[in-house]
């Protein structure tokens, strides 16, 4: 019976074995310019998170050597990217993709520098139109105005753009604009056509506790969201998904001035 099983390949004995641990190699390199979080800094502040092949997340808190936890077989593709930018900095990857050469990859370079925020400013009017409820035949769009105070701070006012017709056409008039919040940016990321700014959001119109917010711009359109629960705060992947849904439903804003 044993001879018969052997002849027939019983138990899968003819299957080629997978690569042994010795045939797998780590993917890594060097991070430079990263400012380490100070003692007592906000534990929720964004950290540098790297990914390989859109997974195997690696949080890096200081400049120096790094390596992902999961080794890859020789010939396998690797692609390193920044999944999350650190607070106050922008990091970019060089020599981040290729095929594993049969030895540990150590040439990936991640360079970090102070962020150039390029904060959006001006008056932004929501695309969606609706009745104001104040005067028959009038319609309106909600608006917000961003006014830059310095490189990382903007003030936010909120109000309504009113039109003397039911379709929000023609020239509108700004009505009931009021001081609304302060926004302090600490993270910026661009992916494809979308740029997003994350930061601390402090209401000036209520006693709500400070929270987080994200503004995301795609071409002429600006979307924004204020989040009260850190665990639900969006990543760049979630921002892309939210923008793809919000723009067709006219929930975002166009710059008016």
What residue segments make up the domains of the chain, in order of their start? 22-114, 122-255
pLDDT at 9: 42
- The full DSSP string for 163-218 is ESSSS--S--EEEEEEEEEEEEEEEEEEETTEEEEEEEEEESSS-PPPEEEEEEEE
Please name the helix (run of DSSP H) or strand (run of DSSP E) that holds residue 32, with its range, or none: strand 27-32
| Residue 29, helix vs strand vs coil | strand
Weakly modelled stretches of the chain, pLDDT under 70: 1-22, 38-45, 228-233
**8 A C-beta contact, residue 221 and residue 254:** yes
Q: How far apart are CA 143 and CA 172, in angstroms?
A: 11
Task: Tell which CATH architecture fits domain 22-114.
Answer: Sandwich (2.60)
- The pLDDT tens digits for 63-120 are 999 999 999 999 999 999 998 888 778 899 999 999 999 999 999 999 998 877 888 8
Check residue 11 and give its pLDDT.
46
The tokens for 174 are: 């700004």
Q: How many CA atoms lie within 13 A of 173 on its CB side?
A: 7
Tokens of 2: 């044993």
């Amino acid at each position: 019976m044993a001879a018969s099983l052997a002849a027939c390949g019983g138990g899968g004995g003819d299957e080629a074995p997978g690569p042994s641990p010795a045939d797998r190699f780590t993917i890594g390199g060097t991070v430079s310019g990263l400012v380490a979080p100070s003692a007592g800094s906000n534990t929720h502040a964004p950290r540098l998170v790297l990914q390989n092949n859109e997974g195997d997340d690696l949080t890096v808190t200081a400049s120096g050597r790094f390596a992902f936890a999961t080794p890859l077989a020789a010939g396998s593709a690797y692609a390193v990217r920044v999944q999350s930018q650190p607070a106050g900095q922008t990091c970019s990857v060089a020599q981040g993709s290729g095929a594993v050469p049969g030895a540990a990859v150590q040439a990936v370079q991640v360079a970090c520098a102070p962020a150039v925020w390029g904060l959006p400013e001006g008056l932004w009017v929501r695309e969606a139109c609706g009745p104001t409820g104040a005067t028959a035949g009038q319609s309106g769009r909600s608006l917000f105005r961003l006014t830059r105070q310095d490189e990382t701070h903007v003030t936010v006012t909120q109000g309504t753009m009113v039109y003397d017709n039911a379709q929000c056409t023609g020239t509108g008039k700004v009505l009931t604009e009021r001081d609304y919040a302060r926004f302090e940016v600490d993270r910026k990321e661009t992916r494809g056509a979308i740029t997003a700014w994350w930061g601390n959001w402090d209401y000036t119109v209520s006693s709500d506790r400070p929270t987080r917010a994200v503004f995301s711009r795609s071409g002429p359109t600006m979307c924004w969201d204020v989040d009260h629960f850190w665990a639900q705060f969006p990543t760049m992947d979630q921002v892309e998904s939210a923008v793809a849904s919000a723009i067709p439903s006219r929930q975002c804003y166009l710059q008016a001035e």
